[in-house]
């Protein structure tokens, strides 16, 4: 392998090592609300840039909820939150065909209330 090829491999490894930080994020919502929090733009910004930089990348959006209260209402709220996050991606110029919405996810027992009110976005 020549020096230029070795340098290219090192550069590719450096780029790949940054992907985990830029390829996933969580947006945390207020209790009982599907309104995007004020800091959601900052949270989603890196993901939007990653999606713009890689036209083949796709985003998966998952809304979480807990088991307290009415399960159907909680699942609907998680769905609305996920849809609002997907809408923010679309508003930032990401084609909705590149965004997959997962069905609402019941948070693991023992998860904090804040973690149960989140939407996770993963870009692959």
Calculated CA dihedral for residues 103, 104, 110, 113, nearest 10 degrees: 150
pLDDT mean values, one per 10 residues, the chain (124 residues): 36 32 85 93 90 96 92 95 97 96 91 92 94
Q: Where are the domains of the chain?
A: 23-123
Q: Which pLDDT does position 66 carry in this prediction?
A: 87
pTM as predicted: 0.80
Q: Which pLDDT does position 22 carry in this prediction?
A: 55
CATH of range 23-123; options 3.30.1330.60, 3.40.190.10, 3.40.640.10, 3.40.30.10: 3.30.1330.60
């Amino acid at each position: 392998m020549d020096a230029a090829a070795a340098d290219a491999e090192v550069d590719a490894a450096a780029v790949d090592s940054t992907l985990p930080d830029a390829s996933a994020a969580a947006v945390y919502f207020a209790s009982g609300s599907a309104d995007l929090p004020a800091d959601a733009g900052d949270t989603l910004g890196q993901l939007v840039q990653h999606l713009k930089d890689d036209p083949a990348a796709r985003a998966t959006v998952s809304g979480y909820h807990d088991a307290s209260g009415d399960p159907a209402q909680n699942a609907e709220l998680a769905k609305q939150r996920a849809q609002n996050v997907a809408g923010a991606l679309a508003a930032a110029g990401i084609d909705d065909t590149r965004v997959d919405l997962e069905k609402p996810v019941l948070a693991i027992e023992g998860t904090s209330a804040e973690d149960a009110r989140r939407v996770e976005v993963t870009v692959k």
